[in-house]
Amino acid sequence: MDYAIASQPYPEQNWGKSASYTKYNSANSERNLMNILQQMHSSLDPRTVFASYGKTLGQLLPIQGLQLNQQLKLNWGRCHGLNQQRVISGFGEPYSIKYYLTAPLTPSQTLQLNELESLFSQPFFNAIKFDQMSNKAMFDALTGLGNRYYYRQTIKNALARANRNQGDIALLVLDLDNFKSLNDKHGHKLGDTVLSEFAELINEAIRNTDQAFRIGGDEFIIIAQGNELEMTPLCQRIITAMAEHPLMHAFNVQCSIGVTDSTVSNVQDKLYEAADKALYSAKAAGRNCFKMSNKNL
């Protein structure tokens, strides 16, 4: 059975189609519930489990859509019209789910929904827990950006796409100027605040198609679509934003950037080396600037 992944978040064009429900066959109820339970436990992706739950409800009850709108936002089916909000809990924090109905639930259908919710809750909370653990392994706890491990996976995939003639990939290596002296003089608490603010500044500067990472200390990386010359506006946005940022300005924290692209090399370590050399050229040029790689590797 095909369980389309629930959208996250939930634009209308990604709405799933809710199936026409059929009356519950009590003779086969035990077998049906066992099948449902197996399907719920077959994935550790919260979106897939949520969509599986929605598809099951759409087949058994007059339910055409589900919406979870908390820190984790999920949507399945058609989410408009008559609705009923319910809370599931028992394996973690409570989650409020809004059920969109094609007709009011009868008392027997409400009892059936209670039973289906009990089957859904454990695999759903297991999937959420697994997803949270996976995110911790891939994202920097301080800044929320991707970590070194996630960067290496992402640049590998990006270069593979570039090798298939799907466009150039640019690599930007960013380093905070004067950060060590700030950390030594004012302490790690302020240093951590600066790193977090810088990460937010980067996120505001990059495009939706770009990705940012903190790979250690005050060193950051951006993977962007395009060649190195096309990165000029992005570099200028970051340097200008640094100058205008109250905290960075108050403590004279600036940024140097080295830029290269996939025409230099399709090997990730060589690509990083080229961007890193460009970064040191920016440092040597007086800092608070960006330099392109000379493509001599």
Nearest of 198, 191, 188, 254 to residue 222 by alpha carbon: 198
Our measurement of the distance from residue 171's CA atom to the centroid of its chain's CA atoms, rounded to an integer in Å, reads: 20
Q: How far is CA 244 from CA 134, 241, 250, in A?
A: 36, 5, 10
**Catalytic choice (218, 261, 269, 276):** 218
CA dist 297 and 282 (Å) reads: 18
Please state, in angstroms and rounded to a whole number, the distance separating the CA atoms of residues 150 and 157.
Answer: 11
Is 218 tagged catalytic? yes
Question: Which positions ≥6 away from 134 have C-beta within 8 Å?
Answer: none
**Separation between Cα atoms, residue 202 and residue 264, nearest integer Å:** 24
What does the alpha-carbon distance between residue 42 and residue 268 come to, in Å, rounded to a whole number? 35
Q: How far is it, in rounded angstroms, from Cα 176 to Cα 8?
A: 34
**CA dihedral of 131, 132, 138, 144, whole degrees rounded to 10:** 130
Residues annotated catalytic, as ranges? 218
